[in-house]
Amino acid sequence: MDTCAIPRPAPPLEFDGFSPDSFAWFEGLEADNSKAYFTEHREIYDHTVRGALEALLEELADEFGGRVKLFRQNRDIRFSQDKSPYKTRTYGVIQDRPDSRAALYAQISREGLFAGSGYYMLDPPQLERFRDAVVDDRSGPELERAIGGIEVFGEALKTAPRGYRRDHPRVRLLRHKSLISGSRLAPRTDRIGRDEALEHVRGTWQACAPMNAWLDAHVGAT
């Protein structure tokens, strides 16, 4: 056990936005991605970066349901040529939700606050169900309507998967191996206030809800 480790404080009781210190911390980490920098600025990370994000997710979990999970800041460098020890973004999810299998994702970085949702990875049986539903002339148009007005992305093939027409009217969706949507809110005057952060994340997740409902109905669990 590292006897010099700084104890992690509890997250703030109330989310109060992301301060200029939050974004300055990421700028510093990108310039000096080292244990020395992380240790020296650990209190800022605990309170204004990870702590603030955790408080945001906990508050919204009361509204959307589910369990909050934050991910480690340390990178897995075992199989990477890049040996920098820390991620330059901090992120977490609300998972195990009562009304959808899709996790709700939020991330803070130097670029701002990103929120998104969807099915991040599809295993082979899920992918087969997804493609069958996309080409179906009833469920396929339903998905097109569900994603109308939002930008979708995720891992995709360069062309139609084997066995499907390259000129299929929904070939753009057929190429997907995952389906997610999201949007980013850039900081204004080096901060993102409480109300605009909550409005951005909540609104993004709500916009993703029809897509998630389609995925739950036609793709389902792994």
Residue 2 has pLDDT above 60, yes or no: no
> What is the total count of domains within the chain?
1
Structure tokens at 187: 């900081």
pLDDT of residue 4: 44
pLDDT at 66: 97
Q: In this structure, is residue 1 part of a structural domain?
A: no
Give the predicted TM-score (pTM) of the model.
Answer: 0.90
Residue 207 pLDDT exceeds 50: yes
Least trusted range by pLDDT, from 35-39, 130-134, 186-190 = 186-190
Q: What is the mean predicted confidence (pLDDT) over 184-201?
A: 96
Q: Where are the beta strands (DSSP E) in 55-178?
A: 67-70, 89-95, 103-109, 112-119, 152-153
The reply to whether 14 falls in a domain is: no
In a domain, 207, yes or no: yes
Cα torsion 42, 37, 198, 58: sign: negative
pLDDT(134) > 50: yes
Other Cβ atoms closer than 10 A to 189: 7
In a domain, 9, yes or no: no
Structural domain that includes position 172 = 20-218
Assess whether pLDDT exceeds 80 at residue 136.
yes
Q: In the predicted model, what is the mean pLDDT of the chain?
A: 93
